[in-house]
Amino acid sequence: MVNLDWCYKQSKGIKFIEPNENLSNQYLKNAEETLLDLKDNKESNLWKATKKYYFEYFLIYSLLMKLGIKCEIHDCTIVLIKKFEEMDLLTKDTHKILKKDKEIRIDNQYYLKDKEVKINYAKLFEFFLEMKSIIRSLNVNKIKEIRRQLKK
């Protein structure tokens, strides 16, 4: 089972780096562009699943870059999301949404299952605004505190 301890030990798992505002902003921009792509909602389930998941993932990765955390294992990123929920940084069950959307993306992209992907643009836009607000609210002291709690 994937947990924080396991993720810290992996070469591509959770690593602390210098916070990077520029990369954080770039991931936010990528999320916004992907959200606009999802607005027409006329693509195949394969592409809807891929775009929806990566829209969510870009937002989370924007947060990670702002905090100075690198993580190249998606399951470890989801574990971090759960930890952020426990720290009241993210809304409860955000990790469940990302995990479910990741599974649908994998099923549709790699196993060609053509599972239906429901796109609720208003809800996705709300998530975008929520994440953008969280990211923008982080100051140096808050970032240090979050990093300190994660290093325990």
The answer to pTM > 0.85 is: yes
Topology of the domain comprising 4-151: Four Helix Bundle (Hemerythrin (Met), subunit A) (1.20.120)
Provide the 10 A C-beta neighbour count for residue 58: 22
Q: What distance in Å separates the CA atoms of residue 41 and residue 143, rounded to the nearest whole number?
A: 36
Residue 21 tokens read as: 């505002």
Question: pLDDT tens digits, the chain, 152 residues: what are they?
Answer: 699 999 999 999 999 999 999 999 999 999 999 999 999 878 999 999 999 999 999 999 999 999 999 999 999 999 999 999 999 999 999 999 999 999 999 999 999 999 999 999 999 999 999 999 999 999 999 999 999 999 98
Helical residues (DSSP H) of the chain, grouped into ranges? 4-9, 21-39, 45-67, 74-86, 94-110, 121-137, 140-151
Cβ burial of 27 (10 Å; 0-12, 13-18, 19+) is: buried
